[in-house]
């Protein structure tokens, strides 16, 4: 069973998990990677969500709400699939007339009060699971309608799809609220666990108090067993809350990234997928300090039109942000030097113009301007200009 220090560690895990992936997007325009204007509205205790992968299915299932029971009745309270919480029946004791007997009665009252909290917390967990299941179902319905429409072909910025996207985002926002409620529930259950451990320690120390009769120690022994059982039940609820919290936090974080991808697809009227990254060819030149000193994540030859490289660039950016959530990007216009003076100047101008086009494309994909920079460089080994994108 968990001791008091273990319960505190579990609470720390709960609070840490709750801080992951709760940020919501304000609109389709600032959905991807967040807005650099600082105007996004976020749920309490939330950080910016990072890109993730699409889960195979939601693990949250709707659970019917069941009425609670009176403390000490021994009736079960459903807390979700595959678990049933049964409060511990606390045996009443007789008044022995001693000071120790009075202390035993006080502890018994405290442990009995915890049974009512166990019922209430288990019921709230069942309710939150049911709400999460409903929100997840509504989210996937909206998402499926958007994906189907995009797959069949549609116009850029179709207002019908924008409305469905907003509906899907609202469902994810409901899940974020649900996660915050789970976080609060975990804090309450952890406090109950600490109280139960305190009662157990008090019981064990009361054995050493003088002036007790045999009946006092018998009642202490019974109450000690009942308190140990209570701790086991509370720890089970605490584990369920912690597991749900971490699972739903991961789920929402992943789906925020997927919803971001849908926002960009709606804006461009086409369904972006994960293919075609080979269009962005690797660079063979050795970068210097002027362009970040690292290998580029993408190299876009001038022979590629915007229609050719946008899908590949989007896939590359998503992949980069999955491993480097806080990455900034430098766009470098690289031009050849093997030409006349006027030819070199013309190539530099063309390279800068193409780099501006890449910057605009990345902005439309949702990369904040504060995370983008642009510069120029030359490469004597090139016969034609190209644009290189670096992550740092």
Final residue in a domain of this structure, among 268, 300, 333: 268
Neighbour-count burial for 185-223, b at 16+ CB within 10 Å, e otherwise: bbebbbebbbbbbebbeebeebeeeeebeebbeebbeeb
pTM (global) more than 0.75: no
The tens-digit pLDDT sequence of the chain (392 residues) is 444 445 544 444 444 444 433 344 444 444 434 444 443 433 333 333 333 322 333 333 333 333 333 333 344 444 445 457 788 899 898 999 999 999 999 999 999 999 999 999 999 999 999 999 999 999 999 999 998 998 888 898 899 999 999 999 999 999 999 999 999 999 999 999 999 999 999 999 999 999 999 999 999 999 999 999 999 999 999 999 988 988 888 888 888 877 877 887 888 787 764 333 333 333 333 333 344 457 888 888 876 555 467 778 888 888 888 888 888 999 998 888 877 877 778 888 888 888 888 888 888 777 887 888 888 888 888 878 889 999 98
Whether residue 253 is found in the same domain as residue 364: no
Q: How far is CA 241 from CA 18, 121, 251, in A?
A: 11, 10, 15
pLDDT value of position 111: 93
Whether residue 316 is found in the same domain as residue 258: no
Whether residue 223 is found in the same domain as residue 303: no
Final residue in a domain of this structure, among 202, 235, 268: 268
Whether residue 107 is found in the same domain as residue 222: yes
Beta carbons of 224 and 154 less than 8 angstroms apart = no
pLDDT value of position 160: 92
- Residue 105 has which token pair? 């009665």
Whether residue 246 is found in the same domain as residue 352: no
Instruction: Say how far apart CA 139 and CA 177 lie, in whole Å.
Output: 14
- What's the number of domains the chain is made of? 2
Beta carbons of 309 and 357 less than 8 angstroms apart = no
CATH number of domain containing 299: 3.30.1330.60
Beta carbons of 244 and 82 less than 8 angstroms apart = no
Whether residue 327 is found in the same domain as residue 248: no
Final residue in a domain of this structure, among 246, 268, 290: 268
Domain span at 370? 277-391
């Amino acid at each position: 069973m968990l001791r008091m220090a273990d319960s505190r560690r579990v609470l720390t895990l709960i609070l840490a998990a709750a801080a992951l992936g709760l940020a919501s997007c304000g609109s389709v325009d600032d959905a991807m990677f967040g807005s650099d204007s600082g105007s996004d509205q976020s749920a309490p205790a939330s950080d910016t969500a990072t890109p993730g992968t699409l889960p195979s299915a939601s693990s949250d299932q709707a659970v019917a709400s069941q009425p609670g029971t009176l403390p000490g009745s021994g009736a079960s309270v459903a807390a979700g699939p595959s678990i049933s919480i049964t409060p511990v029946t606390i045996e009443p004791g007789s008044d022995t007339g001693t000071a120790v007997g009075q202390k035993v009665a006080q502890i018994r009252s405290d442990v009995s009060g915890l049974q009512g909290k166990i019922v209430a917390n288990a019921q709230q967990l069942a309710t939150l699971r049911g709400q999460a299941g409903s929100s997840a179902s509504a989210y996937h319905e909206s998402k499926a309608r958007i994906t189907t429409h995009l797959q069949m072909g549609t116009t850029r910025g179709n207002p019908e799809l924008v409305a469905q996207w907003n509906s899907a985002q609202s469902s994810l926002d409901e899940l974020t609220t649900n996660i915050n409620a789970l976080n609060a529930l975990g804090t309450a259950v952890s406090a109950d666990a600490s109280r139960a451990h305190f009662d157990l320690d008090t019981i064990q120390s009361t054995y050493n108090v003088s002036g007790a009769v045999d009946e006092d120690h018998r009642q202490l022994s019974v109450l000690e067993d009942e308190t140990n059982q209570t701790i086991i039940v509370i720890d089970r609820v605490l584990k369920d809350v912690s597991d749900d919290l971490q699972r739903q936090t991961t789920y929402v974080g992943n789906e925020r990234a997927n919803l971001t991808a849908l926002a960009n697809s709606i804006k461009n009227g086409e369904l972006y997928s994960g293919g075609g990254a080979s269009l962005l060819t690797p660079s063979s030149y050795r970068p210097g300090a002027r362009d970040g000193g690292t290998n580029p994540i993408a190299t876009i030859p001038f022979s590629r039109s915007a229609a050719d490289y946008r899908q590949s660039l989007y896939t590359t950016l998503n992949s980069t942000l999955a491993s480097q959530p806080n990455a900034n990007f430098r766009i470098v216009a690289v031009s050849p030097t093997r030409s006349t003076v006027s030819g070199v100047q013309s190539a530099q101008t063309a390279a800068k113009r193409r780099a501006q086009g890449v910057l605009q494309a990345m902005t439309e994909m949702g990369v904040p301007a504060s995370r983008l920079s642009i510069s120029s460089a030359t490469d004597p080994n090139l016969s034609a200009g190209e644009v290189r994108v670096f992550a740092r």
